[in-house]
Amino acid sequence: MQQPVIAVLTGEGEALPPGLDTIADTAELRLANSREGLEQALPGADILLVTDFRTEMLAECWPLADRLQWVHATSAGVDALMFPGLQNSEIPITNARGIFDRPIAEFVLGLVLAFTKDLPASVRYQDQHVWQHRETETIRDKRALIIGAGAIGREIGRMLAAAGMRVDAVARSARQDDPDFGRVHAQHTLLDHLPEADFVVVAAPLTDATRGLFGHDAFAAMKPEARFINIGRGPIVDTEALVEALEADAIAGAGLDVFEEEPLPQGHPLWDFPQAILSAHMAGDVLGWQEALTMQFLENFRRWQSGDALHNVVDKGRGYVPPG
């Protein structure tokens, strides 16, 4: 029997993901870490494993994919793969749902605590050898509004609630009696509920409905004491509007792990706000995350070989894995 062919799109100069070589005896692995490599890997490939999202290159090479049966993304968000050739095809896309939920929730809790306990200022005072006593806040009974009620948003909600916060969510449609949130509001009512929140956490996928969701109107609706956290996708936020909100003290702070432009340019004004905490798109990347992603793919690969239904199949119309 002919071995299945797996094309692996990685970053420029990168090797195969750790642990993938364990199936080298049962599948042909084709590394594609350049344009030339992708052009050679796609023809005759049965599966495309995507660890690097150079969408323009993949879209241009897409006509060479003459035998693909399945595309797997090693990320929770698949917006970068939603170019017409793939989105309009019958080829299923699966993602890494479940791998990043807990690490990202811990990261958000860390940001909440960093803001309320004024940890960035403590680090700055330490750098200056300054002893500066001050009072900080408690997170107990503070209100969090989670934008996105998917797996990651739910894990964030559970963790913040366990720490004593009151947590609501915003989703495509309103829901009652949700197991993880006090209330789930419909997205079209977002502006009505932003004024209630002490922390607004974006955990939604990037779709046509969420692109630019947070602009001038949204930041104007937030109360001046509120903090804004984005661990979803950069283009959900209008960066210019966020900068203006921080400049005007319209919001009290921002914790940002994702940006419209990545890497964030060195001269960008976001770097210089003392009330902002920035990280390099790393909220879910804990020790061992790459091996966990490979194990998840290999489990689905075994299901594919056996003819069983794949896990984490993305609804390409919505841009994410539907609940349940």
How many whole angstroms separate alpha carbon 322 and alpha carbon 173? 13
Q: Apex CA 289: angle with CA 59 and CA 228, to 5°?
A: 80
Q: Are residues 210 and 176 in the same domain?
A: yes
For residue 318, what are the contacts with CB-CB under 8 A and spacing of at least 6?
207
Q: Residue 320 domain-assigned?
A: no
Q: Are residues 257 and 182 in the same domain?
A: yes
Q: Are residues 106 and 90 in the same domain?
A: no
DSSP state of 264: P
Full pLDDT tens readout for the chain, 324 residues: 689 999 999 999 999 999 999 999 999 999 999 999 999 999 999 999 999 866 689 999 999 999 999 999 999 999 999 999 999 999 999 999 999 999 999 999 999 999 999 999 999 999 999 999 999 999 999 999 999 999 999 999 999 999 999 999 999 999 999 999 999 999 999 999 999 999 999 999 999 999 999 999 999 999 999 999 999 999 999 999 999 999 999 999 999 999 999 999 999 999 999 999 999 999 999 999 999 999 999 999 999 999 999 999 999 999 999 986
Q: Are residues 261 and 291 in the same domain?
A: no
Q: Are residues 213 and 268 in the same domain?
A: yes
Q: Are residues 185 and 206 in the same domain?
A: yes
Q: Are residues 159 and 271 in the same domain?
A: yes
Q: Residue 273 domain-assigned?
A: yes
Q: Residue 233 domain-assigned?
A: yes
How many whole angstroms separate alpha carbon 38 and alpha carbon 17? 16
Q: Are residues 62 and 46 in the same domain?
A: yes
Residues classed as catalytic: 233, 262, 281
How many whole angstroms separate alpha carbon 55 and alpha carbon 121? 39
Say which CATH number the domain at 51 has: 3.40.50.720
Report yes or no: 151 and 98 within 8 Å, Cβ to Cβ: yes
Question: Up-side HSE of residue 93: CA atoms within 13 Å toward CB?
Answer: 28
Query: Which residue range is the domain that position 293 belongs to?
Result: 5-98+287-306
Q: Are residues 214 and 181 in the same domain?
A: yes
Q: Are residues 109 and 236 in the same domain?
A: yes
Report yes or no: 171 and 186 within 8 Å, Cβ to Cβ: yes
Number of domains into which the chain is organized: 2
